[in-house]
Structure 1
Amino acid sequence: MEIGLGLPISDPACLLEWARRAEECGFGTVAMLDRLAFDNPEPLTALAVLAGATTRIRLQTEVLLGPLRGTALLAKQVATLDRMSGGRFVLGIGIGGREDDHAVAGTPINQRGRMLDKQFGALREIWRGEPYRGAIIGPRLEKAPRILIGGFAPAALKRVAAHADGFICAAPASWAGGLINTVREQWAEAGRAGRPRIVCQVNVAAGPPETIERARRAVAGYYAFTAREGWGEPLSDPGRIAAAVAEYRELGADEVVMYCYGDDPGQVERLAAIVGSIE
């Protein structure tokens, strides 16, 4: 099982150091979340910069909100990033559930699922070099980037077998198993070869009390829209972090991405040590 790092969003300038350290410490992926009506860096732009600062590590969105973006421009941005990074980009994508994001983008939130479904076929056609609305978009891709779909609703889970290469499960291990099993069953029922890639997420904070407190405040601000106190609370005890990663491994996850909302880059080495202690 591979381990990735979800990068903090509070200070875009520090992300170069995070990505370089993550690659040096052997992490498989650096990932970035996506919001529009929030103080966070735009993930495709940020990952493009990080692609130039690294050589091996994968670059992943978790998850990009597809309906907020025009299909042709999204196809071009993804293809450019994938080509310039040497095929290291992974498109984690979903519909988004925050009303303010869709209001700012001018997209009807009650149609976001249908909009995303239409995007999937168009993206692959564009990447193959086929005309889209009478025009060739480019750059053409010999191989489409891996697509992972994130979500919880039944419709989101069904999209994995229909359109994607795998599933991003941003759920605690205690109830992730049911979601993962559903995705695998639907994959088999659809007659898909092999098995879906499973990527799980866990919020973490490692280090001194001030680092953990900054992470808690950042997580609380990000999830304030839920009005649920403690939602997304990061794990900070090394033993609990190691146990959570081990639980996802038992569920058959191919990768666990540890999301860091605190901006202290020293967490990279601390988390690498914790991961290294897992038997």
Structure 2
Amino acid sequence: MRLGLHALGIGTGAQRGVIDAVAAAAESNGFATLWSGEHVVMVDKSASRYPYADDGQIAVPAVADWLDPMIGLSFAAAATSTIGIATGVLLLPEHNPVLVAKQAATLDRMSGGRLTLGVGVGWSKEEFDALGVPFARRGARTDEYVAAIRALWSDDVASFDGEFVRFDSVRVNPKPVRDRRVPIVVGGNSDAALRRVAGWGDGWYGFNLAGVDEVGERIGVLRDLCREKARHLNELRLAVALREVEPSDVAALAALGVDELVLVEAPPEDPSAAVEWVATVARLWMPAVR
């Protein structure tokens, strides 16, 4: 079992000094991955339901700083040398997939092959409206974008003719470090998200799950969906973040097949305090995962 840290990019975790301090301290204390999520815009009053809270409301205030994860993670990568970096998640249907392919391959190259591209379909209609992207069929758009991105990574001269994206005989360089692939994990807890994991994902990022029982139930569904696709659950990277979790839960999560437990925390705003904060989190959790 590995330990990930989802602490960068929002609020106090959006400050340059804190990013440098947390990233370096997380690496030195044995964390496996630094995760950073995305919202391009927030609104003061949203009519869209946030799917990761019982009351349907996101806890992050609309006025909080929220960095672009590709840019924020580039600073985390520059402050470290071995720890993984991951978008958790990039809202893929809101982006041009050709640009995402370029940006992700660039970050992967500059970090020495440490990037995991976590993607989701999004939940805020207001955000899609602000970007001029249709909210309807965002799942189908995501599926197609992933196929297009992988073609751009793998082929020297790439062509794609889909419903949402088309290009003909184009070159996008650089290529990702590891066999021209960046692992793509799917964020989301719904059956639809798990179908994407089973269909084309390299892994799953289950976010803000209620507890170990829900993790087990969702992995059970994913196992059945993988079987339908002639895939095995062991092929996938399984990372989860829980609303309430204790070190004593680690053994049960490992038994379910979870590869990485991601701790969602907010660092202190003082970079020097952030170093000790990471060390304190590590002292609590590392004995449980080793």
SS for the counterpart of 2:158 is: coil
Q: 1:44 Cα deviation (Å)?
A: 0.5
- Once the two structures are overlaid, the 10-residue window that deviates more, 186-195 or 5-14, is 186-195
Q: Can you list the C-alpha shifts for 1:186-236, whole angstroms capped at 9, x where unaligned?
A: 22321225432110113xxxxxxxxxxxxxxxxxxxxxxxxxxxxx5xx5x
* AA of the residue aligned to 1:191: A
For residues 268 and 137 of structure 2, the distance between their equivalents in structure 1, rounded to whole angstroms, comes to: 35
Aligned pairs for 1:113-262 (under 5 A) are 113-129=139-155, 130-132=157-159, 133-134=167-168, 135-141=170-176, 142-170=179-207, 171-172=209-210, 173-192=212-231, 194-202=234-242, 241-262=246-267
Q: 1:277 Cα deviation (Å)?
A: 3.7
> What TM-score, normalized by structure 1, do the two folds share?
0.82
For residues 268 and 119 of structure 2, the distance between their equivalents in structure 1, rounded to whole angstroms, comes to: 24
For 1:92, the equivalent position in structure 2 comes to 118
Name structure 1 gaps, 5 residues minimum. 203-231
SS for the counterpart of 1:92 is: strand
Query: RMSD of aligned C-alpha atoms?
Result: 1.8
SS for the counterpart of 2:246 is: helix
For residues 200 and 61 of structure 1, the distance between their equivalents in structure 2, rounded to whole angstroms, comes to: 14
For 1:270, the equivalent position in structure 2 comes to 280
For 1:10, the equivalent position in structure 2 comes to 11
Q: Can you list the C-alpha shifts for 1:151-197, whole angstroms capped at 9, x where unaligned?
A: 12222111112111111111122312111111122223212254321
- Quick one: which of 61, 66, 86 aligns to 2:92? 66
SS for the counterpart of 1:257 is: strand
Q: Can you list the C-alpha shifts for 1:43-82, whole angstroms capped at 9, x where unaligned?
A: 0111112111111000011111001110100000001011
Bigger helix share = 1
Conserved? CA contact 1:10–1:263, under 8 Å:
no
Name structure 2 gaps, 5 residues minimum. 43-64, 160-166
For residues 272 and 262 of structure 1, the distance between their equivalents in structure 2, rounded to whole angstroms, comes to: 13
Q: Which ranges of 4 or more aligned residues in structure 1 deviate by more than 4 Å? A: none
For residues 75 and 276 of structure 1, the distance between their equivalents in structure 2, rounded to whole angstroms, comes to: 34
Identity between Structure 1 and Structure 2 (%): 31
Number of paired residues?
Answer: 244
Conserved? CA contact 1:82–1:89, under 8 Å:
yes
Aligned pairs for 1:52-63 (under 5 A) are 52-63=78-89
For residues 250 and 222 of structure 2, the distance between their equivalents in structure 1, rounded to whole angstroms, comes to: 20
> What TM-score, normalized by structure 2, do the two folds share?
0.79
Q: Which has the higher contact order (CA 8 A, sep 6+)?
A: 2
Conserved? CA contact 1:242–1:275, under 8 Å:
yes
